[in-house]
Amino acid sequence: MAAKTVEMHRLQELVRLHRIGKPVREIARLLKIGRSTEMKYRKALEAADLLAGDLATLPELHVLKAAVIDGQEKTRPKHETSTVEPWRAEVETMLGRKATPKAIYDCLRVQETQFDCSLSAVKRFCARQRKAAGIQPEDVAIPVETMPGKVAQVDFGSIGRIYDLMSGKQRKAHIFVMTLGFSRRMFACLTFDQKVETWLMCHILAFEHFGGVVEVVVPDNLKSAVIRCAFAVDGEAALNRSYRELARYYGFIVDPTPPRSPEKKGKVESNVKYVKNNFCKPRDLNELGFHRAGEELKVWLEEVSDKRVHGTTRQRPIDRFQKEEFSMLLPMPQKRFELVTWKDAKVHRDSHIVFEKKLYSVPYKLIGEKVWVRATPVTVEIHFEEERVATHRRRAPGHRSTVEEHLPEHRAPWRHQCHDHWKKKAAIIGKDTALLVSAIFDSEDSHSKLRVVQSVVSHLIGFPEDRANSAARRALHFGNLTYQGIKDILRKGLDYEPLPGTQNDRNGVLDAPEYSRSFDDIVAPNL
């Protein structure tokens, strides 16, 4: 056995008892050790010539320890050579890169054709190598002292499935925990997801629970989905924008932990376990349901969590918070933060982006570009290269929001498929145009005339009202209800010509003016 099995003080007593002549059985009884254990240590001490001697000068503890270790080295059976030994260099290199035994085993199994060792053999070999290397500086846990109001750590934890009254089924639930680093007072709430809005709202509720804001918030980097979105390379910008807005509004700094380093936020990790063990396990959360479980959690935070004596501080979190930390928190803003979500989107060929299964228009010149969507519960803003290019009211599912100015000027009206829309546009041009459009629609049989009307009205809009109405009046007179007919009338200037049997009143010019006289009437009196 190792020297740890029997304390050095007891070995010192073993030497004293032998020197006063106590029998072996009596010594084992007095020291409360087995006779085989007594014999093992006795032989090691005899070999070092430590059992005999003066009662007044017992061996020093370090001398006893050296003798026991020396005796163990002589009797310890030598390890057989590990089957992993031929790959020692490769294993040591991978251990230096912090690879796990399983990763080392998989790597060697794939890359080395002669490798036939078991995973257990690799684990034993790695354990011996680590033991031989000893404790490394990076293995040492450095306790971090936190000043009042300085730091809060946050994390999510999964707590199984809970019945949701709204959906009528069980859903996977999570618990959000924020722990104040100084007082260890915490806030916790239940959630059904880890979406951006949920993540932000949990922070807001936590600050309102504490009545103030800390200077620094330390979130996890990889463990929960929402944080993975925030700080992983592939999704850094989307959530980081939303989280950054929240941080700026409340005045705190975000300091995420490095990847795979839960020990760097041990306070909240410990509290997540505490909530699971002390609150969740004694209760049937599924039977309580999500809402009632949340209400009980609030009571538990106040009556149990706040009032327990913390194992590290040896104080109740609520007492430590009220006496030393509350006054050091940053003040709360006058208004609650308006939840905001940032998400990237691509502008499609129809000059719209898709956000939460709804369509919103942007200027058509951005087709094919990547834009950022900033959404609040009320509005949807679209940004391109840090400039806001569109603002919409948030729409209900199944609706699209289109601003006419975002579409090409001469093509924007074509998106309207309603007859009344085109009749109204024709009426704005004039009465004759409205009559022409009605006549075209009335001529429909099995073939829709909508495109004809769209083309006619869009074309007439580009002309002065008198010309447009004159062309419409001429087309009606001759029954030419086609787009090409309208184009020809205007192209050839036929709208200037009077219709058969009518006066040409264009620009006030009549065929027979009321006060006009003939040439003979003018010159005859002078002859």
Does 63 lie in the same domain as 18?
yes
CATH code for position 197: 3.30.420.10
Residue 229 lies in a domain: yes
CA 269 to chain centre: 19
| Three-class secondary structure of residue 274 per DSSP | helix
What local confidence, expressed as pLDDT, does residue 251 receive? 94
What local confidence, expressed as pLDDT, does residue 75 receive? 60
What local confidence, expressed as pLDDT, does residue 337 receive? 92
What local confidence, expressed as pLDDT, does residue 415 receive? 54
Does 420 lie in the same domain as 395?
no
| Three-class secondary structure of residue 465 per DSSP | helix
| Domain assignment of residue 221, given as a range | 151-328
Contact 347, 362 (CB under 8 A): yes
Residue 515 lies in a domain: no
Q: Per the structure, how many domains does the chain have?
A: 5
Could you say which of 57, 75, 93 is where a domain stops? 75
What local confidence, expressed as pLDDT, does residue 279 receive? 92
> How do the residues of the chain divide into helix, strand and coil, expressed in percent and rounded to 5?
50, 15, 35
| Three-class secondary structure of residue 277 per DSSP | helix
Q: What is the DSSP string of 286-349?
A: HHHHHHHHHHHHHHHIIIIITTS--TTT-S-HHHHIIIIIGGGSBPPPSSPPPP-EEEEEE--T
The closest of 384, 484, 407, 403 to 440, measured between CA atoms, is: 484
Does 42 lie in the same domain as 12?
yes
Contact 487, 474 (CB under 8 A): no
Please provide residue 515's backbone torsions phi and psi, each rounded to the nearest 5 degrees. -110, 20
Question: What pTM, to 2 d.p., does this model score?
Answer: 0.59
**CB within 8 Å of 180: residues ≥ 6 apart:** 151, 152, 186, 210, 214, 317, 321, 325
Q: What is the DSSP string of 478-509?
A: HT--SHHHHHHHHHTTGGGSPPTTS---GGG-
Residue type, 138: E
Does 436 lie in the same domain as 384?
no
What local confidence, expressed as pLDDT, does residue 300 receive? 94
Residue 336 lies in a domain: no
The closest of 363, 425, 413, 418 to 388, measured between CA atoms, is: 363
In this structure, are strands 151-164 and 352-355 parallel, antiparallel, or unpaired?
unpaired
Is the C-alpha dihedral spanning 278, 280, 283, 288 positive or negative?
positive
Does 347 lie in the same domain as 396?
yes
What local confidence, expressed as pLDDT, does residue 523 receive? 46
Residue 364 lies in a domain: yes
Does 282 lie in the same domain as 200?
yes
Does 347 lie in the same domain as 307?
no
In this structure, are strands 400-401 and 358-361 parallel, antiparallel, or unpaired?
parallel
Does 196 lie in the same domain as 323?
yes
Residue 521 lies in a domain: no
Does 199 lie in the same domain as 264?
yes
Distance CA 248, CA 256 (A): 16
Distance CA 375, CA 147 (A): 36
Extract the tokens encoding 516.
Answer: 């006009």
Q: What is the DSSP string of 208-273?
A: HHHTSB-SEEE--SSSSHHHHHHHSGGGHHHHHHHHHHHHHHHT-EE-PPPTT-GGGGHHHHHHHH
Contact 283, 293 (CB under 8 A): yes
What local confidence, expressed as pLDDT, does residue 1 receive? 40
Distance CA 179, CA 268 (A): 5
Does 162 lie in the same domain as 94?
no
**CB within 8 Å of 220: residues ≥ 6 apart:** 154, 155, 156, 227, 256, 257, 262, 265
Residue 178 lies in a domain: yes
Does 295 lie in the same domain as 244?
yes
Does 428 lie in the same domain as 379?
no
Contact 257, 192 (CB under 8 A): no
Residue 288 lies in a domain: yes
Taking only the tens of pLDDT, the chain with its 527 residues reads: 444 456 777 888 888 888 888 888 988 888 888 888 888 888 888 888 888 888 778 888 888 888 887 777 666 556 678 888 899 999 999 988 888 999 999 999 888 888 999 999 999 999 988 888 887 777 776 667 789 999 999 988 889 999 888 888 889 999 999 999 999 999 999 999 888 889 899 999 999 999 999 999 988 753 343 455 555 444 454 557 888 889 999 999 888 765 555 555 678 888 999 999 999 988 888 888 899 999 999 999 999 999 999 888 899 999 999 999 999 999 999 999 988 888 889 999 888 888 888 889 898 888 989 999 999 888 999 999 888 989 998 887 777 787 777 777 655 455 555 666 667 777 877 887 888 777 777 776 656 666 777 777 777 777 888 888 888 888 887 777 787 877 887 887 877 888 876 655 444 444 544 444 554 554 455 44
**CB within 8 Å of 234: residues ≥ 6 apart:** none
